[in-house]
Amino acid sequence: MDSVQEDQHPINRSSRSIIFGKYEMGRLLGQGTFAKVYYGKNLKTSESVAIKVINKDQVKKEEMMEQITREISVMRLVRHPNVIELKEVMATKQKIFFVMEYVKGGELFAKVVKGKLKEDVARKYFQQLISAVDFCHSRGVSHRDLKPENLLLDENGNLKVSDFGLSALPEQLRNGLLHTQCGTPAYVAPEVLRKKGV
C-alpha cells in the first residue's frame, strides 16, 4: 500500500479537494457502513474515477482490517472487462483510499426496480455476469455477495461486478470460510442459510 509522508497532508483544503497531489475529489456518490465513495478526477489524465474512502479507526474497531486487505488482494487479482478495476490504493494514518474505475450508469437494481427488462438486455447482462463470475472462479475467487446493488452499468450498458468486501480467496476456502454465513439475506444461497457449506 502506498502511503504519504507523515509531514504532508494528502488533502488540500482550498476550494478544490486534492488528494496526494494526484486526484481531485468531487461529489459523494454513495456510502456504506465503513466507507464513502466520491467522484474523482485524475489531474494528470483528466480520467474520471471513483474514490472509496475508508476510515481506518472504524475498521480497526470493528476488526475488519483483514477484510479490507482481502478486498485489495482480490481486486488486484481479478482484472476483467466486467469487473470494476482497482487502479491504486493509497493510505494515510487515518484513511485508506481505493481509486477505482468510475462507472456512471448506476446499479442494475435501479433498472430492475423500474420493471421487467427486455429479454435481449437481460440476456446480455446475464452473459456478462457469468463471464465475470467464471473468470473470478478461475482465479480462485468467490464473490459471496452478488446482488443487483453490486452490479454496476457503464455508459454503454455493460455490466461491472463491484464490492468484493465479502469475497474469499483459495486459502480461506480451504480453511472453511465458506461455511460462515455471509452475503445479503434476500440473495443468499439456500445451502448457506442451512449452514451446510458450499
Which residue positions form the known binding site for ATP? 52
Residue 145 annotated to the active site: yes
pLDDT (0 to 100) of residue 126:
97
Phi, psi angles (nearest 5°) of residue 173 = -65, -45
Structural domains in the chain plus CATH codes: 2-101 (3.30.200.20), 108-193 (1.10.510.10)
- Non-local (6+) Cβ contacts of 76 within 8 A are 86
Query: Per-residue pLDDT tens for 70-102?
Result: 889 889 999 999 999 999 999 999 999 999 999
Q: Taking the model in full, what pTM does it have?
A: 0.77
As a whole number, the mean pLDDT across the chain is 84
pLDDT score at 2? 41
Catalytic residue among 57, 134, 145, 154: 145
The set of cell numbers assigned to 144 is 459471496
C-alpha cell at 169: 480467496
Confidence of residue 8 (pLDDT cuts 50, 70, 90): very low
Q: What is the mean pLDDT of residues 117-139?
A: 96
C-beta of residue 154 within 8 angstroms of C-beta of residue 160: yes
Quickly state the pLDDT bin for 129 (edges 50, 70, 90): very high
Residue with the larger pLDDT of the pair 5 and 95: 95
pLDDT at 153: 96
- The answer to whether 197 and 179 are in contact (CB under 8 A) is yes
Model pLDDT, residue 60 = 87
The pLDDT tens digits of the residues spanning 165-194 come to 778 766 554 455 544 455 556 656 666 656
pLDDT given for residue 3 in this prediction = 38
3-class DSSP state of 107:
strand
Q: Per the structure block, which three cell numbers stand in for 36?
A: 464513502
pLDDT in tens, 29-54: 988 878 999 999 999 999 999 999 99
Query: What's phi and psi for 4, nearest 5 deg?
Result: -95, 145
Q: Which residue has the cell 430492475?
A: 112
Measured CA to CA, the distance from residue 159 to residue 20 in angstroms comes to 30
pLDDT at 67 over 90: no
| Residue at 195: amino acid letter | K
pLDDT for 164 equals 83
